[in-house]
A and B are shown apart, each in its own frame.
Chain A
Amino acid sequence: MSATAPEAVAGARTGLAGALVVPATLFVAIGLIGPIAILFRYSLNKFIPGQFMVDGLVIENYVKFFTDAYYINVLVRTVRVAVICTLVCLILGFPLAYVLARMQSRFKNLMIMLVVLPLFVGNAVRAAGWMTAFGNRGAFNASLTGLGIIDRPIEIMFTENAVLIGIIAVNLPFMVLTLQSVIEGIPRHVEEAAFSLGANPAAMFTRVLWPLALPGILAGTILTFILAMNAYATPVLLGGPKFQMMGPLVYGQFAQQNNWPFGGAISFILMTATIVLTVAAHLVVQRRYR
C-alpha cells in the first residue's frame, strides 16, 4: 500500500526478465499441465474389466460418481473435513502468527523454526505416531484411564476426529507462516493509531487488523484447504479402511482397481471441487470486506 509505484523488475528492458520466467514456466507446463491433460483424456475413456482401458469419448465415469451415494458421501466428507481443518487452523493459527509477527525477541527465529518443526517429520511417520497415541491402549487413553478420569477408552482411532487432528497438525504451520509474514507487513503504528482513536482490542481487530491481514488469510486458507482436500496418508492411517476421503479413493482406483478412467474422473472432480470452493469462498469474503 505504499505511495510509490512498484519498481520494474531489474533487467526488464533487456529482456532478461522474460528469460528468468522461462525455467519455472517450462517445468510447470511439462510437469503439471501435461499429466493433467492426459488424465483428463483418460477420464473420458471406457473401462471394461479385463481389458484395462478402452479408448472412447464418454462421460459415464462422471455419471457413475454422481449417481452413487457412496462416492457423493466421500466427496461431502472430504469437503467437510477440509473446511473444518481450515477454520480450526485459522482460529488456532492467527493468534500464534500475530504473536510471532510482533515479537522482537532474539529468539524469534528459533520460535519460527519451532513452528516449522512438525514439517520435518513426514506425513506417514507422523500419522504412525498418532496411531500409537490414539489407540484404545495408546498413550492418550492409557493416561486418562490411569488417572481414573475415564473407565472405558475413548474411541478416537479410525474416527473423523482422528483424521481432523492429524490434518490440522500438518496444516497449522503453513497457516501460521503465511499469516505471520503478512501481519509483519502491517505497521504497528496503524494498530496504535486505532487504539488512540478509541478502538478497544476487539474493534481494532475487526476494523483494522483483520481487513489488512486479509491477503494473508486468503493465502493461508487456500493453502490449508487444498492440502486438506488432497490429504492422503493421514486419512488412510488414522481414518482406517472405512473412512474414505477423495485422495485415497483416487489411489485405490488407480493402484488397486486398475480403473484408470474412473480414477481420472475422480481426480478431476476433486480438483474442480477444490478450485470452485476456493474461488467461491474468496469471492464472498472479498465482497464483504471491500
Chain B
Amino acid sequence: MARLAIEHLRKSYGDVTVVDDVTIDIAEGEFLVLLGPSGCGKTTTLRMVAGFVPPSAGKIAIGPRDVTGLPPWKRNCGLVFQSYALFPHMTVAENVAFGLEMRKTPKADRGPRVAEALRLVQLTGFDTRYPRQLSGGQQQRVALARALAMEPDVLLLDEPLSNLDAKLRQEVRVEIRELQRKLGLTTIMVTHDQEEALTMADRLVVMEGGKVRQIGTQRELYEKPADRFVAGFIGRSAFVDGRIEGDGRFRSKGGLEIACAAATGAGPATLALRPERIAVGSDAEGLANRFSARVEHAAYLGALLDIHVSLSEHDRMLLQIPNRQGFVEPRPGETIAIGWAGDAGLIYPLQS
C-alpha cells in the first residue's frame, strides 16, 4: 500500500488535449473516485497511472517510486476492468495465480494466497471453474481477486460495475468498499455513475474537458460546488440567470427580485439553488424569497416528488419535495406558493 502522487499530468494527441494539468494526491489507503461525463479524461488519467498511455507531460509516483517511465508490468498496479478481462482459457484459480506466477512466487506459496484471495471475494470452491461458467458478478469478483492476490501498491478500478445489473451493482459496490477498507488499499476508481461515486468514495475528483474541476468530499462537492459545472453535475441544481444588483440582491432575467446572501458586487451572474432547499405551500411562509409559481409538470418518484415550475416567462426551476403522507402532487397549470431562504443560493459567473 502506498501513497500515489499525480503531478501536472497532461496528455495530448496532436492538437487535442484530453488530460490537462491534472494534479491529485492520494493518501495511503484512500478510496478516490474520478467522476465526470464521458470524454472528460478520467479513463485516460487512470490508464496513464496504469502505464498503458504514456503522458505528454507530468509525473506519477507510487510511494517513493517515480513510475512515470515504467512499463505497466513493473508498476504493481492491480487493475480491474469493466469487461472483467479474465483469461478465458484459464480456470479461476489459474487466473488468480497469474500475477503470482509472473512474480515468480514459489509454487508452495501460491495455493494459500489464491485461496485467501478467493475467500476475500467469497468465491471459495470456484477454483476449477472457467470464467464462462460464472455469472457477470462472479467474474468481476474473480477479476478483483486476481488483482488483490498480487498485493498491489495501488488498486485501479475502471468502471468495474457498469456491466452488472442494478441490484448486483449495489451489492458488489459495498463488497468492494469493505474489502478496500479492510486491506487499506490505495484505490482509484473511474465512473460516470454519480450515485456509485458518492456511496464509495472517500474523496471525489470531478473532471470535465480534461481538467480537474473540483476535488473534495461528498459534502464539500454538494454544498460548496466550485463552479456551475460541479453544481449541475453533483446532485441537481436549479439555475436562474440574471444579474447581481448589489450586495445581497439578485435580479433574474424574468425580473424577479431575489434576496441572496452569496451575491456580492454587481454584474451578470447565475444563481444556483438545490431543489430540496425550495419549500412549497405553507412551508414557504416566512422565508426571505416567496413567489407564486405555475406548475408545468409533476412526477411522482416514490420517496420524492419532482415538480417543474415556471416563475416567469424566463425563470423555470425544478423542486424536489419529500413525499409526506397525505401530500397530493399539484396538477399542471395549478399555481403554488414556493420560497427559499436568503442563504440557500450560490452565485456563479454567467455562462454565455
State in angstroms the CA–CA spacing of A193 and B88 once bound together.
12
Report yes or no: B99 in contact with A192, Cβ–Cβ below 8 A.
no
From A190, A196, A211, A289, give the contact of B73 (CB < 8 A).
A196
Sort A-B residue pairs by CB-CB distance and give the 6 closest, nearest first.
A198-B102, A1-B88, A189-B85, A197-B99, A196-B79, A195-B72
Q: Within 8 Å CB of B99, what residues of A? A: 197-198
Taking the nearest CB of chain B, how far is it from the CB of A231, in angstroms?
A: 34
Report yes or no: A3 in contact with B50, Cβ–Cβ below 8 A.
no
Report if B89 contacts A (CB, 8 A). Answer: yes
Report yes or no: A211 in contact with B89, Cβ–Cβ below 8 A.
yes
Report yes or no: A1 in contact with B132, Cβ–Cβ below 8 A.
yes
- A contacts, CB < 8 Å to B: 1-3, 187, 189-190, 192-200, 203, 207-208, 211-212, 289
Q: Within 8 Å CB of B79, what residues of A? A: 192-193, 196
Known contacts A3-B134, A197-B146, A199-B98; 14 further A-B pairs (Cβ under 8 A): A1-B88, A190-B88, A192-B72, A192-B81, A193-B143, A194-B98, A195-B51, A196-B73, A196-B75, A198-B73, A198-B74, A198-B103, A207-B98, A289-B89
Report if B78 contacts A (CB, 8 A). Answer: yes
Q: Within 8 Å CB of A211, what residues of B? A: 89
Report yes or no: B88 in contact with A197, Cβ–Cβ below 8 A.
no
Report if B180 contacts A (CB, 8 A). Answer: no
Selected A-B contacts with CB under 8 Å, 28 pairs? A1-B88, A1-B131, A3-B135, A187-B85, A189-B81, A189-B85, A190-B86, A190-B88, A192-B50, A192-B52, A192-B72, A193-B87, A193-B146, A194-B87, A195-B51, A195-B52, A196-B51, A197-B98, A197-B99, A197-B102, A198-B73, A198-B74, A198-B103, A199-B73, A199-B102, A203-B102, A208-B87, A212-B89
State in angstroms the CA–CA spacing of A199 and B89 once bound together.
16
Taking the nearest CB of chain A, how far is it from the CB of B67, in angstroms?
A: 12
From A189, A196, A207, A289, give the contact of B77 (CB < 8 A).
A196
Q: Within 8 Å CB of A195, what residues of B? A: 51-52, 71-73
Q: Within 8 Å CB of B85, what residues of A? A: 187, 189-190, 192-193
Report if B136 contacts A (CB, 8 A). Answer: yes
Report yes or no: A3 in contact with B73, Cβ–Cβ below 8 A.
no
Q: Per-position contact with A for B246-285: 1 when CB-CB < 8 Å, else 0?
A: 0000000000000000000000000000000000000000
Q: Within 8 Å CB of A3, what residues of B? A: 131-132, 134-136, 139
State in angstroms the CA–CA spacing of A200 and B51 once bound together.
13
State in angstroms the CA–CA spacing of A187 and B87 once bound together.
10
State in angstroms the CA–CA spacing of A200 and B146 once bound together.
17
Report yes or no: B131 in contact with A187, Cβ–Cβ below 8 A.
no
Q: Within 8 Å CB of B102, what residues of A? A: 197-199, 203
Q: Within 8 Å CB of A212, what residues of B? A: 87-89
State in angstroms the CA–CA spacing of A244 and B245 once bound together.
99
Report yes or no: B87 in contact with A190, Cβ–Cβ below 8 A.
yes
Report yes or no: B150 in contact with A198, Cβ–Cβ below 8 A.
yes
State in angstroms the CA–CA spacing of A192 and B53 once bound together.
11
In the complex, the chain A residue whose C-beta lies closest to that of B99 is A197
Taking the nearest CB of chain A, how far is it from the CB of B13, in angstroms?
A: 12
**B 34-86 contacts with A by CB, 8 A:** 50-52, 71-79, 81, 83, 85-86
State in angstroms the CA–CA spacing of A211 and B89 once bound together.
7
Taking the nearest CB of chain A, how far is it from the CB of B146, in angstroms?
A: 7
In the complex, the chain B residue whose C-beta lies closest to that of A190 is B85
State in angstroms the CA–CA spacing of A208 and B99 once bound together.
13
Interface centre among A192, A195, A196 (most CB of B within 10 A): A196
State in angstroms the CA–CA spacing of A208 and B147 once bound together.
16
Q: Within 8 Å CB of B76, what residues of A? A: 198
In the complex, the chain B residue whose C-beta lies closest to that of A199 is B102
State in angstroms the CA–CA spacing of A190 and B136 once bound together.
16
In the complex, the chain B residue whose C-beta lies closest to that of A189 is B85
Taking the nearest CB of chain A, how far is it from the CB of B50, in angstroms?
A: 6
